[in-house]
A and B are shown apart, each in its own frame.
Chain A
Amino acid sequence: MLATSHHVLRFWLGLFLAGSAWANEVSLLNDFSLRRWMVEEGLPESVITGIHQGEDGFLWCMTPRHTVRFDGLEFVAVVPEPAVQAALQRRLALATAVELPAGIAHVDVEQVAVGADGVTWITVKGELYRRQAGQWGRIEWPAQAASATALHADATGALWLGTVDGVYRWSGGRWESLTQRDGLLPWDVRCLAEDREGNIWVGTTGGLLRLRAKLLEVFRTGLPTGDEVISALLVESRSNFWVGVAGSGLAQGPPESLRPVRLAGLPEPVTVSTLRRTRAGTLWIGTQGNGLWRWRATGPAERVGEARGISALLEDRSGHLWVGTWEGLMRLDDAGKLVPLEGELPAEVVTALCEDRAGQLWVGFQGAGLLCRQVDGGMRWFRTGDGLPADSIRALLEDTTGSLWVGTTTGLGLLREGKWHRFTVKNGLPASAILQIVEDDLGFLWLGTRRGIVRVKKSLFAEVAAGQKLLLPLRSFGVGAGMVEEECSGGLGALVAKTADGRLWFPTMHGVVMVDPQDIFVTPVTPTVQIDEVRAAGRQVTDTRLPVGARDVEFEFTTPVLTVPSRPHFRYRLEGFDADWSRATTERMVRYPRLPAGTYVFGVMARDRDGEWGKPATRRVVVPALVWETGWFRAGGVAGGVLLVGFVVRAYDRRKTARQLAELERRHALERERARIARDIHDDVGAGLTEVALLSELAQAEPAGSAEHLERIFQRSRELTQSLDEIVWAINPRNDTLEGFLAYLGDFAQGFLAAAGIACRLDFPRDPPVLSIPANFRHQLWLAVKEALHNIVKHAGATEVQLRVDFLRGELCVTIQDNGVGFSESSAVSASGDGLANLELRLQEIGGQVQRASAPEQGTRLRLTARLPE
């Protein structure tokens, strides 16, 4: 689609067609790259009526209903300042004081443009006039162009003219244009503008266009191949280039008009991988697979040596030819034969050859590393262990300062003053493999990579090498700069060349690309940064004070870089959170997912391609504290927590102690009970049985009184049974209940009293509550009642006893009333002797008391009361 750039042809064609109906102006696309934005790319509308670059560098576009701000990547609807708004709508007008050419009135002037050099341009009814140094001159209107709708004079002094069918540029006496012919849809131009990077912006009814002067120029060979992979390049002079095209052959001539050339003897097709002209005048041709050839203009090419693959050629200062082959390093001996080098060298592909100022030969291998062959023949190897980025070498260059640059498949190596440094993608290089290295005359190092051509200021390497900085500020040039394909040739032997005029020539996958280092524009504007949006929890925030509870904060920012928008570097810092400025990054957004409460200042800055950081933009945010985050609350909480813990520990401790005490009490009580039972058994039963044994013996010994003894034995046995019965009853847990106690009491009283001939009346509660009575309580009460009844039988002389039990409000009351003789209260110490004292003791043991009432001849009433324990 692109017209072949043959300037000579163009000139003649231009002249020939100058007057014809279909005037084919030269296409702007020869020298300019085009980029277009339409609604799909984010424009609100297709019709652009005004363009203006603000002080801050952003490009403002006006459409019929919107005004948007462009940073090179996105169109954002922002309300512009009044100055910007005015600039968008301004149309240049000619000062009335200015004198006009004859026959033209001020009112006739349609479009006005003023250049930086003061040159004024006007259009009047289809005619174009230029005023230079006070003189008006007429400029020929571009053929077939309609009337002008926009006019602009750019910084280089060229004139841009917009019409309803395209854009025209007048420079150096001729017109170039961008019209339907270039395959673009018809559109008409509404406005023209220029930015400070030198891009020309065209506002049309079909979107926004950017025209950028191509920085690189592509030259093709005309060989019949689809794409032009340059496999070899030899520049003998500005007008004598030898170019090898992979899979095809050779082309020769000035770059603007390269022609295929057939060398007699050379096979066809052939892939030439390297070319060298020796001082003797011989052209040496290395091929991939067809070996090494020697050619003199006088005869056909001759094959030299057996090696099939040639990858590098070098003539050293003493005139020896070094040949890098697929099987290692060889040289041409005095007999003209290709011989391998003596010594232990790897039989590996030699990818690069270089001779330094000291006369040492540097040999790069495909995988064995870098060899330095010293003048005396000594060999020194360098590999990754020594500091090389990789052992696979692609390019070698000794620069003007004497440092050696090594291009490898994983980065760039530098040997300076005996020390190796390496630079990789981590330092910002766009690609891993460095295929070509060349330095220009302006202090820059140029690298050919698979991702375009890269330019780095040589002085900036030092800081990165020293570890002070991580990222190399660099510029890269790819398709946008004019390359057809951004990939440089990786073919072994494809060398970069520099001509005397300072231009650089790179072999690429599509043609030879020329770079004029002088042409590279340096951005004078220090990049400004705009913080576009602050978001908290996903929602945009305009206040300094963020909504309560939102801890997830995002900052979005941008800088206007209109030429290569994806490349600027940013760095940021959140004062109050980040300790230091972040590393340079190309991201335009930062997120802080969990900001604690506090006041922060966010700052972000951008830097241009040559490493200068601009002024930071700042924004203050306040993250309000939630109640439970404030200091005093926290302190209070901590104090409270400590207190709480203290309380809990104390309460637990106390409860534990109480429990332990209770447990001990219980155990004691149990032990006492067991001791008592043991005692009872021992005393009652033990004594009784002893007596029975004695009596039995007696009975045996005295048959005469045996009846009496036996009777006594029987009695004692009965008593023992009774005792045991009592003991069993006492300890049997089944008898823990009040009901059981009453039953037992009643039975005993009746039996006992009946045996003594005393009537016994029982008065027990009909429905006693289901209560459990502890063993000791039962026992003592039982013993007390038993004792009381004994006393009555022994002393009272009664005929009837009333036994009554009441249970009221947790208190048990046993009343024993007899109708015996009684006694006078005054004589308390009566015949009952210690009986009452005993009773009192027993009751006291269970926390109860005894009351006795009596009167002579009126019987005695005993009342035993005790509170049932819980």
Chain B
Amino acid sequence: MSIRVAIVEDDPQVRRMLAAIIRRAPDCECIGEYATAEAALAGIPAQAPQVVLMDIDLPGMSGVECVQRLAEKSASLQILMLTVYKDTDSIFNALAAGAAGYLVKPVRAAQLVDAIRDVYGGGAPMTSGIARKVVQMFQQGRPSPREVENLSPREQEVLDLLAQGYLYKEIAERIGVSYATIRTHVERIYHKLHVRSRAQAVARYLGRAADQAGR
């Protein structure tokens, strides 16, 4: 069973390269190539891939927004961001919007396929930088009335350690749980982040609408 992958990349050369890499992987197949976010939004829901490779820098609608929309449409869709620079802000936004992970171009073929598999498996990479931003995000926002959306103490602990630079393995050793447990924690952190970010986005949207109506 091969992993169905779609590519959203505006540079045609890079797009061809990525497609070539995916086609060469035995367990992946490239089911679609899109040059713009709009085209992707139009075509991806119909094609229903499992993993999407999305360039952060897209003409027209940004990659981050595209992620947001796609994530709304399909919760199970895993989106992998591709970025040239390690622009933490954009990456964070994309992750908060619903992306599962990110890669920095130029990327080794093996690295790319590994990441696809990883993401397909539900993996959620989190670097210390991202972890810091997540911490800040949760700190800045008000605690949600729904307890479920706030970080649990264990999740907070994991997040802190991530922010300090500990790897998943190291955290698992430290608090005495399995690697898989840590991964689950991170997933849940991400989930809550997505919710929170969506809520914030809605609030922002509503706020903006209210502002406009009010003035």
| Given known A-B contacts A721-B105, A759-B165, A759-B170, A746 and B85 have beta carbons under 8 A apart | no
> Would B85 and A760 count as touching, CB distance under 8 A?
no
The A interface is mostly helix, strand or loop, or mixed, namely: helix
B162-188 interface with A by 8 A CB criterion = 163-167, 170
7 residue pairs, one from A and one from B, having the closest CB atoms: A762-B165, A747-B129, A760-B165, A743-B88, A743-B129, A725-B85, A761-B165
The distance from the CB of B136 to the nearest CB of chain A, in whole angstroms, is 8
- The residue on B at minimum CB distance from A725 is B85
A714 touches B88 (CB 8 A): no
B88 and A744: CB pair below 8 A?
A: yes
Is B106 positioned at the interface, with any CB of A under 8 Å from its CB? yes
Q: Cβ of A764 < 8 Å from any Cβ of B?
A: yes
Q: Mark B121-141, 1 if CB is under 8 A from A, else 0.
A: 000000111001101100100
Docked complex Cα distance between A681 and B165 (Å): 31
What is the chain A residue whose CB lies nearest that of B92?
A743
Residue in B84, B105, B106, B128 with the greatest tally of chain A CB atoms within 10 Å: B128
26 A-B contacts (beta carbon < 8 Å): A714-B106, A714-B108, A717-B106, A718-B106, A725-B86, A728-B85, A729-B86, A734-B89, A740-B89, A742-B132, A744-B86, A746-B132, A746-B165, A747-B88, A747-B127, A747-B128, A747-B129, A749-B165, A750-B128, A759-B166, A759-B170, A761-B164, A761-B166, A762-B164, A762-B165, A767-B136
What chain A residues lie within 8 Å of B84 (beta carbons)? 721, 725
A279 interfacial by beta-carbon distance below 8 Å: no
Q: A731 CB to closest chain B CB, in angstroms?
A: 12
Q: Are A764 and B89 in contact (CB under 8 A)?
A: no
Q: Are B85 and A762 in contact (CB under 8 A)?
A: no
- List the B side residues contacting A734 at CB < 8 Å: 89
B146-164 Cβ-contact flags toward A at 8 Å (1 or 0)? 0000000000000000011
Closest beta carbon of chain A to B144's beta carbon, Å:
21
A763 in the interface (beta carbon within 8 A)? yes
- Interchain CB contact under 8 A, A729 and B85: yes
Interface-centre pick from A714, A718, A729, A746 (highest chain B CB count, 10 A) = A746
- B-facing residues in A708-756 (Cβ within 8 Å): 714, 717-718, 721, 725, 728-729, 734, 740, 742-744, 746-747, 749-750, 754
Shortest CB-to-CB span from B81 to chain A, Å, is: 15
Query: How distant is the Cα of A763 from the Cα of B132 in the complex, in angstroms?
Result: 11
In residues 742-794 of chain A, which contact B (Cβ within 8 Å)?
742-744, 746-747, 749-750, 754, 759-764, 766-767
User: Which residues of chain A are near B170, meaning CB under 8 Å?
Assistant: 759
Residues of A within 8 A of B128 (CB): 746-747, 750, 760, 762
| Contact between A764 and B132, CB atoms less than 8 A apart | yes
A754 contacts which chain B residues (CB < 8 A)?
167
Most buried by B among A714, A725, A762, A763: A762
- Chain B residues in contact with chain A, CB under 8 A? 84-86, 88-89, 104-106, 108, 127-129, 132-133, 135-136, 139, 163-167, 170
CA of A338 to CA of B170, assembled, Å: 155
- What separation, in Å, do the CA atoms of A45 and B188 have in the docked complex? 118
C-alpha spacing A868/B34, complex, angstroms: 46
A743 and B85 form a contact (CB under 8 A): no
Distance in angstroms between the alpha carbons of A721 and B84 in the assembled complex: 8
Residues of A within 8 A of B165 (CB): 746, 749-750, 759-762, 803
New A-B contacts (10) at CB < 8 Å, excluding given A740-B89, A743-B129, A744-B88: A717-B106, A721-B84, A728-B85, A743-B88, A743-B132, A747-B129, A750-B128, A760-B128, A761-B166, A767-B139
Least distance between B89 CB and chain A CB atoms (Å)? 7
In the bound complex, do residue A762 and residue B106 qualify as a contact, i.e. CB atoms below 8 Å apart? no
Chain B proximity of A757: nearest CB distance (Å): 12
Contacts of B136 in A (CB 8 A): 767
Q: How far is the CA of A766 from the CA of B133 in the complex (A)?
A: 10
Shortest distance between the CB of A742 and any CB in chain B (Å)? 8
Nearest-Cβ distance from residue A734 to partner chain B, whole angstroms? 7
Q: Which residues of A contact B163 (CB under 8 A)?
A: 762, 764
Smallest CB separation, A839 vs chain B (Å) = 22
Q: Which residues of A contact B133 (CB under 8 A)?
A: 743
Instruction: Decide if A763 touches B106 in the complex (CB within 8 Å).
Output: no
Q: In the complex, how many angstroms separate the beta carbon of B13 from the nearest chain A beta carbon?
A: 14
Residues of B within 8 A of A760 (CB): 128, 165
Distance between Cα atoms of A742 and B163 in the complex (Å): 12
Chain B residue at minimum C-beta to C-beta distance from A721: B106
Q: How far is the CA of A670 from the CA of B155 in the complex (A)?
A: 46
Task: Name the B residues within 8 Å of A714 (CB-CB).
Answer: 106, 108
Q: Which residue of A lies closest to B83 (CB)?
A: A725
| A763 CB contacts on chain B under 8 angstroms | 164
Question: In the complex, which of the residues B85, B89, B127 contacts A750, with contact meaning CB atoms closer than 8 Å?
Answer: B127
Nearest CB of chain A from residue B202's CB, rounded to whole Å: 25
Q: Could you tell me the distance between the alpha carbons of A725 and B135 in the complex, rounded to whole angstroms?
A: 25
Partner of B135 from the list A718, A729, A744, A766 (CB cut-off 8 Å) is A766
Closest to B163 in A: A762
Inter-chain contacts of A721 with B (CB < 8 A): 84, 104-106
A761 → chain B closest CB, angstroms? 5
CB distance from B151 to the nearest CB of A (A): 15
Which residues of A have CB within 8 Å of B127? 747, 750
For A761, list chain B residues within 8 Å (CB): 164-166
B92 to chain A, nearest CB (A): 9
How far does the alpha carbon of A740 sit from the alpha carbon of B90 in the complex, in Å?
12
Please give, as numbers and ranges, the residues of chain A lying within 8 Å of B164 by CB-CB distance: 761-763
Task: List B contacts of A744 (CB < 8 A).
Answer: 86, 88, 129
Residues of B within 8 A of A743 (CB): 88, 129, 132-133
Q: In whole Å, how far is A819's beta carbon from the nearest beta carbon of chain B?
A: 14
Q: How far is the CA of A725 from the CA of B88 in the complex (A)?
A: 12
Q: How far is the CA of A740 from the CA of B129 in the complex (A)?
A: 10
Q: A803: which B residues are within 8 A, CB to CB?
A: 165
Q: Which of B129, B135, B139, B167 touches A746 (beta carbons < 8 Å)?
A: B129
Contacts of B132 in A (CB 8 A): 742-743, 746, 764
Q: Give A763 to B166 CA distance when docked, in angstroms.
A: 11
CB distance from B25 to the nearest CB of A (A): 18
Q: How long is the Cα–Cα vector from A746 to B164 in the complex, in angstroms?
A: 9
Q: Report the separation of the CA atoms of residues A759 and B105 in the bound assembly, to the nearest whole angstrom.
A: 24
Task: Give A714 to B163 CA distance when docked, in angstroms.
Answer: 31
Q: Collect the chain A residues with CB atoms within 8 Å of residue B85's CB.
A: 725, 728-729
Give chain A nearest CB distance to B73 CB in angstroms: 31
**Residues of chain A lying within 8 A (CB to CB) of residue B106:** 714, 717-718, 721
CB distance from B210 to the nearest CB of A (A): 26
Q: In the complex, how many angstroms separate the beta carbon of B123 from the nearest chain A beta carbon?
A: 17
Within the assembled complex, what's the spacing in Å between the Cα atoms of A762 and B128?
8
Give the docked Cα–Cα distance between A761 and B139 (Å).
21
CA distance A749 to B164 in the complex (A): 12
- Closest residue of chain A to B140, judged by CB? A767
Query: A721–B105 Cα gap in the complex (Å)?
Result: 8
- CB-defined contacts of B105 to chain A, threshold 8 Å: 721
**CB nearest neighbor in A for B162:** A762
Contact with B along A138-155 (1 / 0, CB 8 A): 000000000000000000
Query: What is the CA–CA distance of A746 and B85 in the complex, to the nearest angstrom?
Result: 15
- From A720, which residue of chain B is reached at the shortest CB distance? B106
Residues of A110-147 at the interface with B, using a CB-CB cut-off of 8 Å, are none
Alpha-carbon separation in the docked complex, A754 to B133 (Å): 20
